[in-house]
Amino acid sequence: MDIVIDANELFSCIIAKGKKLNSRTLDIFFSDKVRLHAPMKMLEELGNNRQEIIRKSGFSHAEYTLFLKVLTLRIDFAALNSFSGEIAEAKSLAPHLKDAQYFGLALKLKAAIWSEEKAFKRQSKVQIFSTNELWTALQ
């Protein structure tokens, strides 16, 4: 199943691993039943939130960097120009302008989005899965 992963889901995955938690987020993230995708913009978001993620996860800087490398091997990052044709429609679907790239990539790939953002479900064009919904769908 192709899934566009929201940045907050990735942040949750990092924080859960840093705290040595078993979680559905981690189980889904490393499942061979999903192919994860994200806009390149997510890497910028990770950089902008690095200190907060390190603080919440308990990772050292070196551990965070290493785990981030593992995570980025699981995600196919797409440049904006590869789905720019979908951005106009994505802007009409996304509840916030900052989320348009996630919707644009989902439209391009005909994929669902994995997010806990309830506002994402206020449209009917792109399927949105919460963690629990995605977990159930993968069983």
Give the Cα-Cα-Cα angle 78, 129, 80 (nearest 5 degrees).
Answer: 15
First-last CA distance in the chain: 12
* CATH at residue 34: 3.40.50.1010
- Phi and psi, residue 59, nearest 5°: -65, 150
Tell me the C-alpha distance between 44 and 9, whole Å. Answer: 15
Which domain range does residue 27 map to? 2-138
**What is the number of structural domains in the chain?**
1
| Tens-binned pLDDT, residue by residue, of the chain (139 aa) | 999 999 888 888 777 665 555 578 888 988 999 999 999 999 888 888 889 888 888 888 898 888 888 878 899 999 999 999 999 999 999 999 999 999 999 999 999 999 999 999 999 999 999 999 999 999 9
